[in-house]
Amino acid sequence: MFIIGELINGMYSNIAFALKERDKKIVQTCALEQISNGADALDLSCGPASKNPLIDLPWLVEAVQEVTDKPLCLDSGKPKVIEEGLKAAKNKTIINSTTADIEKLEILIPLAKKYQSKLIGITIDTRGIPQNKDQRLELAAVILTHAGENDFPIQDLYLDPIAMPVNVAQSQMQDILGAIHEFKMISDPSPKTVIGLSNVSQGAKLRSLINRTFLTMAVASGLDSAILDPNDKELLDTLITAELILNKNIYCDSYLEAYRKK
Ligand code: THG
């Protein structure tokens, strides 16, 4: 599992404060803690409160890459903001994200190619969030077709079926898991898959339990990557154990320590 740490996000008050005060140390500490707990990459989002994401996202990029060379997942709905982040990045990058809208694909696929960035495609378009598995597959096909026609390497494309909160879209959880499974089968080579895990427990009690249960099921459905809280120790232990049971890791009595260090 490719773990993308979710905690550098302006929706969190410490990061909002760091952005306002231009306090690099807060952001850098948050980056290093997530990496020491197992993050392979870091999501960077200015959050909805940022008044100037064109300046704030490159500032986050520069602060983080002073302390790590891990890949940076540039999280914004605005292509111009993403481009400013890409310009500032020396580390590898993942664009987060394009939708299935043609206007967005026509901007973000060339941008990903120009900067040799990976790309997350979320299965959403101007009609909104899909309501079932088939709508997700339809939008995935739009993204895949556009990527293929424009010579974007499909192995660098991460399809996101949009994880919804279980307390508002309980009947869709199986559609999301089914989409993760079927995204891998609609193209050869297969695209990769990703979800924003914490979405599933937003507004619910027992968040950590819901997150780790969903993650286990998503891993069994073939999920390649997740944006999640790597500082949630039980979540990471559950992930390592799920991968053990799927025979992705070799068992030893100290497998948790062994795979945490990797
Ligand atoms: N797909 C893709 N990118 C994404 C998402 C996705 N980026 C953003 C988001 N979803 C993933 N990141 C988070 C980060 C935090 C939370 C959820 C998803 C979260 N935060 C607490 C909350 O809202 O309750 C904030 C608590 C606080 O304010 O301290 O749950 O799906 N491609």
pLDDT confidence tier of residue 258, bands split at 50, 70 and 90: very high
Candidate from 227, 228, 229, 232 with most ligand 1 atoms within 8 A of CB, to mutate = 227
* Residue minimizing CA distance to atom 24 of ligand 1: 202
Coil, strand or helix at 78: coil
When pLDDT is averaged across residues 129-147 and rounded to a whole number, the result is: 97
H/E element holding 137?
helix 133-149
CATH topology of domain 2-232: TIM Barrel (3.20.20)
Distances from the Cα of 214 to the Cαs of 83, 242, 257, in angstroms?
33, 11, 23
Say yes or no to pLDDT of 183 above 80: yes
pLDDT for res 88: 98
Distance 237 CA to ligand 1 centre (A): 21
Please name the residue whose Cα sits nearest to atom 11 of ligand 1. Answer: 196
- In whole angstroms, give the CA distance from residue 105 to residue 120: 11
Identify the residue whose C-alpha is closest to ligand 1 atom 27: 12
Q: Identify the pLDDT of residue 261.
A: 73
Is 168 a residue whose pLDDT tops 80?
yes
pLDDT given for residue 166 in this prediction: 98
- Residues in contact with ligand 1 by the CB-under-6-Å rule are 6, 9, 11-12, 75, 96-97, 120, 122, 160, 163, 196, 198-199, 202, 227
> What is the C-alpha separation between 39 and 33, in angstroms, rounded?
9
pLDDT in tens, 86-100: 999 999 999 999 999
**Sign of the Cα pseudo-torsion (154, 158, 69, 106, in order):** positive
The pTM assigned to this predicted structure is 0.98
Share of the chain above pLDDT 90, in %: 98
Residue 49: its pLDDT value, please? 82
Residue from 2, 4, 8, 11 to probe ligand 1 pocket by mutation (most atoms less than 8 Å from CB): 11
Between CA 49 and CA 16 the distance in angstroms is: 8
Per-residue pLDDT tens for 198-247?
Answer: 999 999 999 999 999 999 999 999 999 999 999 999 999 999 999 999 99
